Amino acid sequence: MIGLGRIGSALVEHRGFFDRGFDIVALFDTSDFKVGRNLHGLKVHHIDEIRHIISDKKIEIAVLAVPVEAVSDVVDLIGNSDIKGILNWSPARLTVPDSIEVKNVNMVMELEALSFKLSQEE
């Protein structure tokens, strides 16, 4: 999990990942307040440690929940790592190597689609 703001922290607390066989094995942030602390039994690492930890823990999927202004820097850090997929919760579109699959999560678009569907039923 990269980014431990409101969305990232909520995702870490969500049991659905574990229930479906996905283990969150590392947490990353840049906040001095968060780095070094534990969240649900996992140490929060500074983003600068990400390449080493991805390699060491054999992480293949990254969950990205950072502000739009941090996206480019984070993608630069993980772009040439062993990451094979990114679940992107940020509002930015990612430019990544072809070897990385990206799935964008856009809650606003989902809400618009639901609203449109409901308006068609009236």
CATH number of 6-120: 3.40.50.720
The pTM for the full model equals 0.86
Question: Where do the domains of the chain lie?
Answer: 6-120
* pLDDT tens digits in sequence order for the chain, 122 residues long: 999 999 999 999 888 888 888 889 999 999 999 999 998 889 999 999 999 999 999 999 999 999 999 999 999 999 888 999 999 999 888 989 899 999 999 888 788 888 888 888 76
Q: Are the C-beta atoms of 61 and 77 separated by less than 8 Å?
A: no
How many other C-beta atoms lie within 10 A of the C-beta of residue 44? Answer: 19
Q: Is 85 exposed, middle or buried (0-12, 13-18, 19+ CB in 10 A)?
A: middle
